[in-house]
Amino acid sequence: MGVPHFLVLPYPVQGHVNPLMQFSEAVIKHGCKITFVNTEFIHKQANNSGEALDNLKEQGMRFVTIPDGLDPEDDRSDHQKVLVSIKTNMPALLPKLVQDINALDSDNNITCVVATMNMGWALQVAHKLGIKAAFLWTASAVSLAACYCIPRLIEDGIIDSEGVQIKKQEIQLSPNMPVMDSADLPWGGVAKIFFSHIVKEMKNLEFGEWWLCNTTSDLEPGAVTISPRFLPIGPLMESDTNKSSFWEEDTTCLTWLDQQQPQSVVYVSFGSLATLEPNQFKELALGLDLLKRPFLWVVRPSSDKNKVNNAYPDEFHGGKGKIVKWAPQKKILNHPAIACFISHCGWNSTLESLCSGIPFLCWPFFSDQFFNRSYICDVWKVGLRLEKDENGVIVKGEIRKKVDQVLEDGDIKARSLKLKELLVVDNSVKGGQSSKNLEKFINWAK
């Protein structure tokens, strides 16, 4: 039997493409083959970002594309439209793609399909083709546990059949997991159509023998034991060079950071999807001005051509800060000048900050970000919540107060550094649990 050959399919957003690339890099090191499937649209975007793909090609990763079914000018920030188009068009194209790849190299046929959330149909296609299948969950294991528990949550009267919480209450998904607020369930705050999509997607996932989680058993011990399919193989943090970025990274911020005092800079970034309302944007700008300390703020260009980009208030000076459109986040978080991270608590950002020992100020927007905040503030105790006022706005005074609070709290910093040590040492070492799990997975794929 030859080496395992994985066909990997991420949902076309950066938060899915990158972890799957990092997974691919990790299995290539074990001598496996990877064929990476991007949509044509994403492939073009990733190719524009330069050397990342070349490095991976040198390591033997092959890139192939499949159309997402949309027109070039369609707005791909409309995820409902993207989802429907993918599910309508791609399942019929995948068998032919597999056939073509196998024809090219008959000694190394595809042995396993690995897909991320929203691409669960691919696991079903693999099943029909008689190929093994696994699923890579790119968010926290606790959010997968919540999706897995949907039938029980409905049965227990915690949510109705459309995912809406029935009354304000605390929930515990399993006895060895922390108590959480039912309002924080990962489908809260998104359109109802997405809840029914998650329910259908969980059925597709049953075609995957393993549900690989980008986490560790140290970070989420209770969550990873909720089903025997859960296999923690994280944090997937291979090299930084191979991260594909959909926007041009502004590396001048690294030179700027070199000129700042150690642990003095407040870093602000809300990932690749979240956007601020104009009023909230102004409060954040004024809050950063109030800090009287240097800040590095990522203000992503708007993907929607009809929306005006954020307008800075007239009274905003920003003199102590640097504002960039997109930044090499991992390098920033590992820079000695960074003091804390005002974050949307997306899972990739959360892992990067945990692995760098940087305390958080939590500003979640949607999906698993509220659960992640709960772990950051209540379970690991490495950050503080930014609270909204009665109008649902995080005001400038709150931003200043919490930044001061988190930076004056030596215990938070000490816990952050301890957790960093645990993650980096335990999991990069050959004998770490995540490495053992990855080997177990590769042996299964053989």
Mean pLDDT per 10-residue segment, the chain (446 residues): 90 91 92 94 71 70 92 87 94 96 90 97 97 97 96 95 91 92 85 86 96 94 95 80 66 96 97 88 96 94 58 89 94 97 96 97 93 96 98 97 97 97 72 89 95
Q: How many CA atoms lie within 13 A of 270 on its CB side?
A: 15
Which contiguous run of DSSP H or E holds residue 25?
helix 14-28
The ranges assigned to domains in the chain are: 5-242+427-445, 252-408
Q: How many CA atoms lie within 13 A of 183 on its CB side?
A: 6
pLDDT the model gives residue 243: 54
Sign of the CA dihedral with 318 first, then 324, 325, and 327 last: negative
Q: How far apart (Å, rounded) are the C-alpha atoms in residues 202 and 149?
A: 10
User: 115 - beta bridge partners?
Assistant: 9, 135
β-strands 265-269, 230-232: how paired?
Answer: unpaired
Listed in sequence order, the residues at least 6 apart from 317 whose beta carbon sits closer than 8 Å to its beta carbon are 289
Q: Do domains 5-242+427-445 and 252-408 have the same CATH topology?
A: yes
Q: How far apart (Å, rounded) are the C-alpha atoms in residues 145 and 141?
A: 6
Listed in sequence order, the residues at least 6 apart from 73 whose beta carbon sits closer than 8 Å to its beta carbon are none
For 252-408, CATH number out of 1.10.3720.10, 3.30.9.10, 3.40.50.1820, 3.40.50.2000 equals 3.40.50.2000
User: 33 - beta bridge partners?
Assistant: 5
Q: What are the structure tokens assigned to 196, written together?
A: 């029914």
pLDDT the model gives residue 59: 76
Q: How far apart (Å, rounded) are the C-alpha atoms in residues 413 and 426?
A: 20
> What is the value of pTM for the model shown?
0.92
Q: How far apart (Å, rounded) are the C-alpha atoms in residues 134 and 112?
A: 7
Q: How far apart (Å, rounded) are the C-alpha atoms in residues 264 and 247?
A: 27
The answer to whether 276 touches 270, Cβ cutoff 8 Å, is: yes
The answer to whether 171 touches 180, Cβ cutoff 8 Å, is: yes
pLDDT the model gives residue 44: 79
User: 165 - beta bridge partners?
Assistant: 159
Q: In what order do the strands lie in the sheet with 132-137?
A: 61-66, 33-39, 5-9, 112-115, 132-137, 210-213, 230-232
Q: What are the structure tokens assigned to 53, written together?
A: 């793909």
Q: What is the CA radius of gyration of the chain?
A: 22
Q: What are the structure tokens assigned to 21, written together?
A: 């690339």
Q: How far apart (Å, rounded) are the C-alpha atoms in residues 133 and 7?
A: 9
Which contiguous run of DSSP H or E holds residue 133?
strand 132-137
Q: Which long-range contacts (CB under 8 A, 24 or more apart) does 26-29 make?
A: 26/233, 26/236, 26/238, 26/438, 27/438, 27/442, 28/59, 28/60, 28/61
Q: What fold does the segment set 5-242+427-445 form as a domain?
A: Rossmann fold (3.40.50)
pLDDT the model gives residue 131: 97
The answer to whether 319 touches 297, Cβ cutoff 8 Å, is: no
205 burial level (CB within 10 Å; 0-12, 13-18, 19+): buried
